[in-house]
Amino acid sequence: EAGVAQSPRYKIIEKRQSVAFWCNPISGHATLYWYQQILGQGPKLLIQFQNNGVVDDSQLPKDRFSAERLKGVDSTLKIQPAKLEDSAVYLCASSVRGDRSADTQYFGPGTRLTVL
């Protein structure tokens, strides 16, 4: 079974520029998550999709971050404009259903963003 795919793996941009990350979840997984992992910290949930609807985006800085899930499969996370404090690893995860808190979340390799 193919895992969660993410691209790019690394991205370096200057502050105030825009950037987008792409995620392809495991086939058949209804729920998709985006996490932000700042160096030295654990992952923090930014947004959760159930199919193509948003379940939780309470931690998403909506003035600069946006995300969408196309047709309930792939997803993109965008930052516009980027700030220095956005430097982090952005992780995508998926789970079979997500409406059961016991479901295992499967993580992609992440995208390491550096904002200069």
Partner 1 sequence: AQSVTQLDSQVPVFEEAPVELRCNYSSSVSVYLFWYVQYPNQGLQLLLKYLSGSTLVESINGFEAEFNKSQTSFHLRKPSVHISDTAEYFCAVIETGANNLFFGTGTRLTVIP
Residues that bind partner 1 (CB under 8 A): 3-4, 40-45, 48, 55-56, 91, 93, 98-99, 101-102, 104-110
Q: Give the nearest distance from C-beta 12 to partner 1 in angstroms.
A: 17
Name which of 23 and 82 has its Cβ closer to partner 1: 23
Q: Give the nearest distance from C-beta 16 to partner 1 in angstroms.
A: 29
Instruction: Decide: helix, strand or coil at residue 1.
Output: coil
Name which of 27 and 104 has its Cβ closer to partner 1: 104
Q: Give the nearest distance from C-beta 23 to partner 1 in angstroms.
A: 11
Name which of 4 and 79 has its Cβ closer to partner 1: 4
Q: 37 Cβ partners below 8 Å, 6+ apart?
A: 43, 44, 88, 89, 90, 91, 110
Q: 115 Cβ partners below 8 Å, 6+ apart?
A: 13, 14, 15, 82, 83, 84, 85, 86, 87
